[in-house]
């Protein structure tokens, strides 16, 4: 049947519907998008990167800062016309912002067909179908954190992890595995506990089965995910407890898994058994992301981080003593409520002493529904937040550059991730293929080499460095036998 100008049928000539997805936010969201696409693939959808070809347009959203939400609301504004042109197209808002804003999304953007929170993502195909059948938008969110008992709230955040879709992974040989859902820390600035629900550790059997499945699909690098991943604890019926270190040992034994990482760690839960596991397991990445957020005790108290700056520094010393050469990275929030110039200077001091591999620095963004928003005025002017952000970044960048330059002349073992994007190309680049990979301590290395190296471990001699990238060369002898 030929298309006419007003009605465009769903799906292509073979009847397969196409889905387009955009993902913002953290690694949890990248993983969720993979699982959603896997579910839809089982229902006959195929993935498209062309929004104009799509029968379903999905946004997997983030609420951690205002900016992340603004991006999605403006994308929703832009696609209003797509819906006008092609009324059959389904539009979905998934993830954290769906859980936070719920029905108000439909008021702001009436052309949206489904609003689905992170705890309901297993139902995406069914809800898209229901929205079509009933001709009205569908809303599926989990219970509010004050709307029931811990058990009922937890049950409303359903797990759906075993669905996997290789094409949605960072690369064919890298995959995420969720070990924990939700968060119970309730840092006062943070929306995550409200939108991701109560902390739950997945049973080790399910995690290991998933890791084995991924290894069988050719995955070499597994990154374990949790908001506070080092708080992982699962109690078995017989009273035995599995910790993150136990998981590392068990995954280390799976044939094919050559590198294991875990993000994000919480300072108070950095136990010695975990540090020793990272030290003793050759395939564990010697890299730990453990956000400090601030270097000022008064600010940390208002953030309810439950540690002091000196506790954090002692933890760092313990990490470095246990795991020589460990690379540590951090997150910081600048301009949090009541952050004075002295408070900020304490953070600068911490960054100067800690020598992080890198730090992610964010300007405080007030989030409705959080303790900080209810208790403290957002009293640091935007211009001051901006300046502190730039200043702290400059301090961190100088340290990253200095530490990276110290590596010049050394040879690193690199897992080759893929072609390098032009932004990381070395000055004076002569047009030869450039590849990118990471060292065991998570440093990015760019070097020349044939694409056949992607997915392999190779040695790279470091010849130059910027604050974010090392540049190197593969010894000619190591390239012998690799097709050019
Ligand atoms: N679970 C992780 C990270 C969660 S969100 C942890 O506890 O470290 C990632 C980062 O976003 C946080 O580490 C924090 O630095 C930042 N962040 C969270 N809420 C924020 C807010 N309201 N404004 C600005 N940055 C925020
Ligand atoms: Fe947010 Fe704190 Fe939980 Fe991290 S630990 S997700 S910052 S509440
Ligand atoms: Fe954002 Fe949700 Fe992750 S709020 S940072 S996508 S857990």
Please report the pLDDT score of residue 349 as a whole number: 98
Where in the chain do CATH 3.40.50.12160 domains reside? 4-154
The CATH fold assigned to 411-479 is OB fold (Dihydrolipoamide Acetyltransferase, E2P) (2.40.50)
Q: How many A from CA of 156 to the centre of ligand 2?
A: 20
| 187 labelled ligand-binding | yes
Q: How many A from CA of 264 to the centre of ligand 3?
A: 12
Which residues does 434 contact at the CB level (< 8 Å), separation at least 6? 419, 420, 424, 425, 426, 446, 447, 448
Bin 450: left if φ > 0, else alpha if -120 < ψ < 50, else beta: beta
For ligand 3, residues with CB inside 6 Å are 25-26, 28-29, 62-64, 96, 191-192, 195-196
CATH superfamily of 4-154: Methylthiotransferase, N-terminal domain (3.40.50.12160)
| 296 labelled ligand-binding | no
Mean pLDDT by 10-residue block, N- to C-terminus, for the chain (484 residues)? 42 76 96 94 93 96 97 95 92 98 96 97 96 96 89 84 79 93 97 96 94 94 97 91 98 97 98 98 97 98 98 98 97 98 98 98 97 98 98 98 97 93 56 86 94 93 96 88 68
Beta strands in 290-388 (DSSP E): 327-334, 358-363
Instruction: Name the residue of 192, 304, 330 whose CB sits within 8 Å of the most ligand 2 atoms, as the mutation to test its pocket.
Output: 192
For the structural domain made of 162-405, what CATH number should be given? 3.80.30.20
Where in the chain do CATH 3.80.30.20 domains reside? 162-405
- Closest residue by Cα to atom 19, ligand 1, is 190
Among candidate residues 331, 330, 343, the one with its CA nearest the CA of residue 379: 343
Per the listing, tokens 């211009």 go with 383
Please report the pLDDT score of residue 2 as a whole number: 38
Where in the chain do CATH 2.40.50.140 domains reside? 411-479
Q: How many A from CA of 326 to the centre of ligand 2?
A: 23
Q: How many A from CA of 190 to the centre of ligand 1?
A: 6
Please report the pLDDT score of residue 23 as a whole number: 97
pTM, whole model, 2 decimals? Answer: 0.94
DSSP per-residue letters across 453-464: GTTSEEEEEEEE
Please report the pLDDT score of residue 7 as a whole number: 41
| 337 labelled ligand-binding | no
């Amino acid at each position: 049947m030929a298309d006419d100008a007003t009605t465009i049928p769903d799906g292509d000539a073979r009847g397969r519907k196409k889905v387009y997805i955009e993902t913002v936010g953290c690694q949890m969201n990248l993983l969720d998008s993979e699982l959603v696409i896997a579910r839809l693939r089982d229902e006959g959808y195929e993935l498209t990167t062309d929004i104009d070809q799509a029968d379903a347009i999905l946004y997997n959203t983030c609420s951690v800062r205002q900016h992340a939400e603004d991006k999605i609301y403006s994308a929703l504004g832009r696609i209003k016309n797509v819906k006008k042109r092609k009324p059959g197209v389904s539009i979905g808002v998934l993830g954290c912002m769906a859980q936070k804003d719920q029905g108000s999304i439909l008021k702001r953007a009436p052309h949206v067909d489904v609003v689905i929170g992170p705890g309901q993502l297993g139902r995406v195909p069914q809800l898209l179908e229901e929205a079509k059948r009933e001709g009205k938008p569908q809303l599926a969110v989990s219970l509010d954190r004050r709307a029931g008992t811990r058990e009922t709230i937890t049950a409303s955040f359903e797990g759906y992890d075993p669905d996997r879709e290789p094409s949605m992974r960072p690369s064919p040989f890298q995959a995420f595995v969720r070990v924990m859902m939700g968060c119970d820390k309730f840092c006062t600035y943070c929306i995550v506990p409200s939108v991701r629900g109560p902390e739950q550790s997945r049973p080790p059997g399910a995690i290991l089965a998933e890791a084995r499945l991924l290894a069988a699909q050719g995955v070499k690098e597994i990154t374990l995910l949790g908001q506070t991943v080092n708080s992982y604890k699962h109690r078995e019926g017989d009273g035995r407890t599995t910790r993150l270190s136990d998981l590392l040992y068990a995954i280390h034994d799976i044939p094919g898994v050559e590198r294991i990482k875990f993000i994000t760690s919480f300072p108070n839960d950095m136990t010695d058994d975990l540090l020793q596991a990272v030290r003793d397991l050759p395939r564990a990445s010697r890299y730990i992301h453990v956000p400090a957020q601030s270097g000022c005790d008064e600010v940390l108290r208002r953030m309810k981080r439950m540690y002091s700056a000196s506790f954090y520094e002692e933890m760092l010393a313990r990490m470095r003593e246990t795991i020589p050469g460990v690379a540590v990275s951090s997150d910081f929030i600048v301009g949090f409520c009541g952050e004075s110039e002295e408070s900020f200077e304490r953070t600068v001091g911490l960054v100067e002493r800690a020598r992080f591999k890198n730090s992610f620095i964010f300007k405080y963004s007030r989030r409705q529904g959080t303790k900080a928003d209810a208790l403290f005025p957002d009293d640091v002017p935007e211009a001051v937040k901006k300046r502190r952000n730039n200043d702290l970044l400059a301090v961190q960048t100088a340290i990253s550059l200095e530490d990276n330059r110290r590596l010049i002349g050394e040879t690193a073992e690199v897992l080759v991730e893929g072609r390098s994007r032009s932004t990381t190309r070395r000055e004076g680049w002569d047009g030869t293929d450039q590849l990118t990979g990471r060292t065991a301590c998570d440093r990015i290395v760019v070097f020349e080499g044939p694409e056949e190296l992607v997915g392999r471990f190779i040695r790279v001699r470091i010849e130059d460095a910027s604050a974010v990238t090392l540049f190197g060369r593969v010894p000619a002898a190591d390239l012998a036998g690799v097709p050019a």
